[in-house]
Amino acid sequence: MNRHAWLAALALPGCAALVEDDWQGRATHPALPPYHLVVSDADMENACGAHPWAYVFGCALRLPAEHVCLIYTRPKAAAWILAHEQRHCDGWDHAAERAR
C-alpha cells in the first residue's frame, strides 16, 4: 500500500476507505484534456456520486463526446489527488474497474 493510501486511511476516522492505486497495466481509453473544477465539501457528493462508506477526495468524469475530462476536487486539493485524477483523464482505470 502506498504512502497516500495510508494517509487517506488515517484521515478517515472510523472508515476503512483507501485511495485506489491499483492501476491497470496500460491506458484503455483515449486521453482527454482535463478541466479542473473545485467544489465545496457539500457539493462533492453531487459531483462524484454518493459513497457513504468512503471519503471522496475527488473524481474524474470522462466525457468523450465533448472531448473533455472533468476533474472535481475539494478546495486546496493536494497535488497527489490532482495527479491521480489526471491519470484517469489520461485513459487509465483501476484494476477493479475491469470487472465493471
- At 13-26, the pLDDT tens digits run 222 234 566 777 88
Cα 82 to its chain centre, rounded Å, is: 8
pLDDT at 97: 57
Residue 94 DSSP code:
B
CA-wise closest residue to 13 among 47, 55, 51, 44? 55
pTM value is 0.74
Residue 43 DSSP code:
G
Q: What three-state secondary structure class fits 62?
A: strand
Higher pLDDT, 74 or 23: 74
Q: What does the pLDDT average to over 82-87?
A: 91
Q: What does the pLDDT average to over 77-92?
A: 91
pLDDT at 20: 63
Do 47 and 99 meet the contact criterion of CB atoms below 8 Å apart? no
Residue whose C-alpha cell is 502506498: 2
Q: What three-state secondary structure class fits 31?
A: coil
Q: Which three cell numbers stand for residue 44?
A: 462533492
Q: At a CB cut-off of 8 Å and minimum separation 6, what does 98 contact?
A: 24
